[in-house]
A = this chain, B = another copy of it.
């Protein structure tokens, strides 16, 4: 990363046309600068620690002024996150962070606004705000820590818990069919959808970078271990021995291959969905994260450990369309260009007045 004379960060800086509206850092920043003085209060061993470390390590890369970064969260273990970052932050109420962030991002294009949320916070009580923010393509980056459980309230099942889960509120097993957050957000017209894993720092960093580079709403699901109430939920993706065989790393423009020596791959199946095949088989698909039609990205989202023995991680979708905030600000600019800056007294006088002497 190099800082140019005008204070903007040149090479290496994460950038897009919206991020360019955010003031650049005067000098390169460090991870430590992004670390607040607050004691971290998660259970020892919680996956949130790893995510925090990765985010703190990644933020300097953005190359923007720290005071122009804002993290907004809801309620949940995960939502404590903003306290640990030395940026502006708000720990709001359950499920509403995307709405609050929408107001902030829309009125302040000079800020980089991030949302931290959990699977309960964002998909249960906050599901509507999440999806509307995504369809509007508001310029916010939403990091959803999916531990498939309600951590803070001590272990009830969540909208991503598997059917039959025994929890405090479902001693006979849960009945609800879970959401697939990727399918859900793709169905809601999201322009950027990605997935990563708490413990894979390098991969998570690459996904965060892609989200930051996306000029609009980004949704990042992060598989996160809750070692107290749902320990080991993602172990198969973490175990060094097995993980390559069950993880499909999505890369735009690359064939959808995985497994030892990338021996396995993905092709279209008879039912219109995707199926696993040998990398040498005909019809192996190439990943297109930029395809405007999300159909194939959606089909990819249906690959899961349970159904196909493989879980894709990485960027499913990344398409560039105007963001809500840039359009709104453009409308304001156009109005001001056309009509000049509003004149209060002539506004309130209106067209029909009369005078009494």
Q: Please, which residue of chain B has its CB at the minimum distance from the CB of A174?
A: B327
Query: Whole-angstrom distance between the alpha carbons of A186 and B176 in the complex?
Result: 16
Which chain A residues in 118-166 approach chain B with CB under 8 Å?
Answer: 124-125, 127-128, 131-132, 135-137, 159
Task: Tell me how many chains of this kind the complex includes.
Answer: 2
The minimal Cβ–Cβ distance linking A286 to chain B, given in whole angstroms, is: 9
Question: A342 in the interface, Cβ–Cβ < 8 Å?
Answer: no
Query: Whole-angstrom distance between the alpha carbons of A285 and B273 in the complex?
Result: 13
Q: Which residues of B contact A292 (CB under 8 A)?
A: 271
Given A127-B132, A135-B177, A185-B187, also A273-B302 (CB < 8 A): no
CB-CB contacts of A107-126 with B at 8 A, as 1s and 0s?
00000000000000000110
Question: A16 in the interface, Cβ–Cβ < 8 Å?
Answer: no
Interface residues of A, count at CB 8 A: 50
Q: Which residues of B contact A299 (CB under 8 A)?
A: 272, 293, 295, 298-299
Given A272-B295, A291-B272, A293-B273, also A177-B159 (CB < 8 A): no
Query: Which residues of A come within 8 Å of B, CB atoms?
Result: 124-125, 127-128, 131-132, 135-137, 159, 172-173, 175-180, 183-189, 268-269, 271-274, 285, 288, 291-299, 302, 321, 324, 327-328, 331, 334-335
A271-B295, A295-B298 are known; give 11 further A-B pairs, CB within 8 A.
Answer: A127-B128, A131-B184, A172-B334, A175-B327, A176-B324, A177-B321, A183-B187, A183-B189, A272-B299, A273-B296, A293-B302
